[in-house]
Amino acid sequence: MSEAPRRGTASDATPPKPPIRDSLVAAAFQLFLERGYEQTTVDDIVTLAGVGRRSFFRYFPSKEDVVFPDHERCLADMTEFLSSGSDDDDPVERVCDAARLVLRMYAENPTFSVQRYRLTRKVPGLRAYELSVVWRYERALAGYLRERFAGRRDGTLHADVIAAAVVAAHNNGLRSWLRSDGQGDAAAAVDHALDQVRDTFGAGVSGGARITPEEPEDVVVVISKRGTPMWRVVREIESSLRED
């Protein structure tokens, strides 16, 4: 009810009354932090927000959804990002960048993210919900990689494993940042974690490794510049060792 559903028109610079969806999120979090998630009913939320109970479920399909109000949009952004790339992109780099997209969403609202993190740690239902959200991210990444790996032997397997590794690394970095109450450098933590994944699964040699598969019988000699991302060398060793 009331005014300013801010439909159209150009005149808006923070309207006095926030849209219903936002007030529901605000009311929900206030109550969740005060008395806990399970001790708060949907009726409590809508009463505090001053809207009808029915409206809650118009904006959020379930009580859990109000805790993750922006994941739907973020997931859409990610799939958009993945499908908008070019064939020249390194697939692993691309999915790492896609993961960074999610991190950015968290980093945009540090206090909100930290509060939510504490909630999801405590409430099993929310943890389960978060898992299903993360799963959708992972499937988006895996789907992209499966396409890029189409035709390769064990393509879908590698796609699934890499997607899982990227998500695990992202979550590891993200959570260490969240545990620091949003004080540290989120991007640095996640970058470092994703670097490890890139080094493990990253594509072929691109940085000064010289590889000499010799002694055809049973020996391979590898010469590498110190400082070369060693996992890039590895991919080449692999192919030469498997060449038989």
Partner DNA sequence: TACTGGAGGGAACTGAGTGCCATGAACTGA
Partner DNA sequence: TCAGTTCATGGCACTCAGTTCCCTCCAGTA
Residue 224 near a copy of itself by CB under 8 A: yes
Q: Which SS3 state, helix, strand or coil, does residue 234 take? A: helix
Q: Which is nearer to DNA, 37 or 117 (CB)?
A: 37
Q: State residue 211 phi and psi, 5-degree precision.
A: -125, 130
Q: Is 166 helix (H, G, I), strand (E, B) or coil?
A: helix
Determine the size of the site formed for a copy of itself (CB under 8 A). 50
Site string for DNA, 6-45 (x = CB under 7 A): -xxx---------xx-------------------xxxx--
Question: Which of 50, 53, 45 minimizes the C-alpha distance to 1?
Answer: 50
> Which of 50/208 has CB closer to DNA?
50
**Nearest to DNA of 1, 219 (CB atom):** 1
Determine which residue in the list 18, 57, 184, 234 makes contact with DNA, applying CB under 7 A. 57
Question: Does 52 participate in binding DNA (rule CB under 7 A)?
Answer: yes
Q: 162, 92 in Cβ contact below 8 A? A: yes
State whether residue 212 is helix, strand or coil.
Answer: strand
- Minimum Å gap between C-beta 140 and DNA is 24
In whole angstroms, give the CA distance from residue 20 to residue 4: 10
Span of 31-39, 71-79, 89-97, 124-132 interacting with a copy of itself by CB under 8 A = 124-132
C-beta of 62 vs 183, nearer to a copy of itself? 62
Is 168 one of the binding residues for DNA (CB under 7 A)?
no
Rg of the Cα atoms in the chain:
23
Dist. CA 186–CA 164, nearest whole Å:
20
Contact 121, 131 (CB under 8 A): no
Question: For DNA, which is the closer residue by CB, 59 or 231?
Answer: 59
Distance of closest approach, residue 105 Cβ to DNA, in angstroms: 23
Under a CB-based contact definition with an 8 Å cutoff, are residues 146 and 137 in contact? no
Contact stretch for a copy of itself (CB under 8 A) within 3-11, 22-30, 52-60, 212-220: 212-220
